[in-house]
Amino acid sequence: MVHHVTMSYDIDADKMLDVLRIGKEKLSDKGTTSAKKRVDPLRRQTGMSRQDIIETMIDTFTSRYGAGESKVTDDEMASAEARVATKFGTEEWLARVP
């Protein structure tokens, strides 16, 4: 199982707005007018330490979905490194403005 999501333990929402390019379309799709208002870090929501949140997530995914620890294989790492060299690490990709 691979689960992908962006979650923030703690964040400077003002700095986030300086760094990210968030288009009006993305905001309107979510029914909101401000990206800053959508940021609600886990630390503020729970009051828990980062390590406690990580352990809770591991325990929850393990008990609910039978998740287990996995490692990236040498072949997977080589493939990822090749993708960085040919696409994701190139100036064309890094300087791309959607």
How many structural domains does the chain have? 1
Cα–Cα distance measured from residue 27 to residue 31, given in angstroms and rounded to the nearest whole number: 6
Three-state DSSP state, 22 = coil
- Please, which pLDDT band fits residue 72 given cuts at 50, 70 and 90? very high
In a domain, 8, yes or no: no
In a domain, 32, yes or no: yes
Q: Give residue-wise pLDDT tens across range 17-28.
A: 777 666 555 555
Q: Give residue-wise pLDDT tens across range 18-65.
A: 776 665 555 555 555 555 566 778 998 899 999 999 999 999 989 999
Q: Which two tokens stand for residue 25?
A: 């379309």
Cα–Cα distance measured from residue 34 to residue 14, given in angstroms and rounded to the nearest whole number: 11
Residue 15: partners with Cβ closer than 8 Å, 6 or more residues away: none
In a domain, 23, yes or no: yes
CA distance to 16, 32, 60, per residue, from 66 (Å)? 35, 35, 9
In a domain, 85, yes or no: yes
